[in-house]
Amino acid sequence: MKAAIIVFPGSNCDRDVRVALENNLGIKPRMIWHKETELSFVDLVVLPGGFSYGDYLRAGCMAANSPVMREVVEKANKGVPILGICNGFQILCESELLPGALLRNAGLNFVCRDVYLKVTNDRAIFTKGYGLNEVIRLPIAHHDGNYFADEKILKKLEDENKIAFRYCSEDGELTNDANPNGSAKHIAGILNNKENVLGMMPHPERLAEPALGGTDGQVLFETIAKILGN
């Protein structure tokens, strides 16, 4: 399989994702600069975390309007798996590949710590490796992760089971204390209609091998590799 990691000015998790893909998928992903427009070769696109364009105007907004994103949107519409992590999630929302928006954290602080997540969709290419309602641990590191959408969209996400991950306590309870940023419905990650696009605030690449202190993120990459083949 051939993966592309899109690199924007200000991306800072692009190399971490590369290592996670190299170690788990056994492939050499291509690093694609945001000005490139050639993506015909890919069967997986990752939008990494960071602060693309310095979060000017709104987090992810400038990146969503960069040349490469037109190609990414086209790929997404053709069913190619697209994974947006942290800033990548913000970019996916700004590109309207995913509904809603990510607002400033309710507590106003930049939150950088491990959180527990409940896996609430176990059928997408990214989430099949987890059990339904399994509790996993992943790090978050963001200032604008407070997911917002109107009631109609939230209901649709819930009814159609498009919420992939929800912030929870260690034992899987959706308590207020376990919600680090005020996200509606404790949303940490959502899927599009076809479930080939996943946006998530937590960083699976940061817990993707034992040396990093955990492997809950590794499962996500391994599952993609299993399904797409090396």
Partner 1 sequence: MKVHVHITLKKGVLDPQGKAIANALISQGFSGINDVRQGKFLELNLDEMEVQAAHDLVDKMCTKLLANVVIEDYRIDLDI
94 near partner 1, judged by CB under 8 A: yes
Catalytic residue from among 86, 142, 186, 195: 86
Of 128 and 143, CB closest to partner 1 = 143
27 makes contact with partner 1 (CB under 8 A): no
112 interacts with partner 1 by CB under 8 A: no
Does position 211 interact with partner 1 (CB under 8 A)? The reply is: no
Q: What is the C-alpha to C-alpha distance for residues 14 and 5, in angstroms, rounded to an integer?
A: 7
CA angle 227, 102, 8 (to 5 degrees): 65
Residue 6, C-beta contacts closer than 8 angstroms, at least 6 positions apart: 14, 32, 34, 45, 46, 47, 48, 68, 72
| Catalytic residue, candidates 71, 94, 195, 205 | 205
DSSP element (H, E) containing 20: helix 14-25
Q: Is residue 106 part of the contact set for partner 1 (CB under 8 A)?
A: yes
CA distances from 102 to 65, 116, 126, 207 (A): 17, 19, 21, 23
- Contact with partner 1 (CB under 8 A): which of 54, 79, 107, 213? 107
Taking CB under 8 A as the binding criterion, the range among 7-15, 92-100, 110-118, 161-169 that sits at the site for partner 1 is 92-100
Q: Which of residues 122-181 bind partner 1 (CB under 8 A)?
A: 146, 148-150
- Please, which residue, 103 or 174, has the CB nearer to partner 1? 103
203 annotated active-site: yes
Please report how close the Cβ of residue 212 comes to partner 1 at its closest, in angstroms.
32
**CB within 8 Å of 200: residues ≥ 6 apart:** 83, 84, 85, 86, 89, 164, 165, 188, 189, 190
The answer to whether the beta carbons of residues 117 and 188 sit under 8 Å apart is: yes
The footprint of partner 1 (CB under 8 A) covers 57-58, 61, 65, 93-94, 99-101, 103-108, 146, 148-150, 182
